[in-house]
Amino acid sequence: MVKVISYGGGVQSTALLVLAARGEIDFRTFLFANVGEDSEHPATLAYIREIAVPYAARAGLEIHELKRHLRDGSTETLMQRLNRPGTRSIPIPVRMANGAPGRRNCTADFKIKVIGRWLRDHGATAQQPAAVGIGISLDEIHRANRRRKESHEEIEYPLLDLGLRRDDCKRIITDAGLPVPPKSSCFFCPFRTVDAWRHQRRHEPDLFALSVRLEETINRRRAALGRDAAYLTRYGIPLPQAIPAAGLAATKADEDGGTCDSGWCMT
């Protein structure tokens, strides 16, 4: 049977990497679906390539970096999709006027399908599905309940089986002598917390400027189609106004913002 971990480069899936290296879970192959050099947070890419990949190699594990390929053989990034001329749909969960997230196809198109193609290329079928381990910890068990299963896979939750929480995952990582990775997500993801946006504006101004530009591009397209504006935060106003340069310190409510519930992103 094909057995893989869907590796996002975050705390939970890095804990799975350490557990595999210690022989405590039976997985040797980790699949990182890279949504784009222009889309993934640079800190996540740096952690995977500079820390996780060498650690995996020393332990005899494999991390495969996958990308979305189009029918003509070219690759496509999420940012390219968002900026494609003439596109009418928005694959990320931008916030509507009431603050609710819109439809989301980014995880399916740039994570699940990309990994699914690799699994099928390596022998996974509906009759002989692959075992796919997802890094969801006990404190996020609600995300497991929302995870859709594909016909060619059987989903496993090793952290749930071991009764591990996010704090346990951090301890596992530090006990292995590794730094704790940053939270993994696209740097412009509308599910980012307000505190994360404030951090980006203060400490990552280049990324913040790209996020502002993306929001403006989305709204120019929506205006041309006669649609209401949509935003990257729940406040219903443009990003520079929602996250002012002189913003206040984050509150507990800010830290409890929405997250991707698929089990594929931000783990």
Query: pLDDT digit string (tens) for 56-82?
Result: 999 999 999 999 999 999 999 999 999
CA angle 33, 36, 40 (to 5 degrees): 85
CATH number belonging to the domain at 3-255, selected among 3.30.70.260, 3.40.50.300, 3.90.1260.10, 3.40.50.620: 3.40.50.620
Mean pLDDT of the chain: 90
Residue 96, pLDDT > 90, answer no
Between CA 134 and CA 199 the distance in angstroms is 28
pLDDT-based confidence at 86, cuts 50/70/90? confident
Residue 128, pLDDT > 90, answer yes
Q: Is 209 exposed, middle or buried (0-12, 13-18, 19+ CB in 10 A)?
A: middle
Q: For position 244, what pLDDT does the model report?
A: 95
Query: Tokens 């509150």 map to which residue?
Result: 251
**128, 115 Cβ separation under 8 angstroms:** no
146 C-beta neighbours (distance < 10 Å), count? 9
Q: For position 124, what pLDDT does the model report?
A: 95
Residue 40: how many CA atoms within 13 Å on its side-chain side? 27
What is the DSSP secondary structure assignment for residue 102, as one 8-state letter?
-
Query: Residue ranges of the domains in the chain?
Result: 3-255
Which is nearest to 110 in space by CA: 88, 138, 77? 77
Between CA 212 and CA 242 the distance in angstroms is 11
**23, 58 Cβ separation under 8 angstroms:** no
> What value does the mean pLDDT take over residues 43-49?
97
For residue 109, the one-letter residue type is: D
Report residue 142 as tokens: 């609600």
195 C-beta neighbours (distance < 10 Å), count? 18
Q: For position 98, what pLDDT does the model report?
A: 77
Q: Is 87 exposed, middle or buried (0-12, 13-18, 19+ CB in 10 A)?
A: exposed
- Comparing 7-11, 93-97, 142-146, the range with the smallest average pLDDT is 142-146
Q: For position 254, what pLDDT does the model report?
A: 43
> What value does the mean pLDDT take over residues 196-218?
97
Highest mean pLDDT range out of 95-104, 142-151, 251-260? 95-104
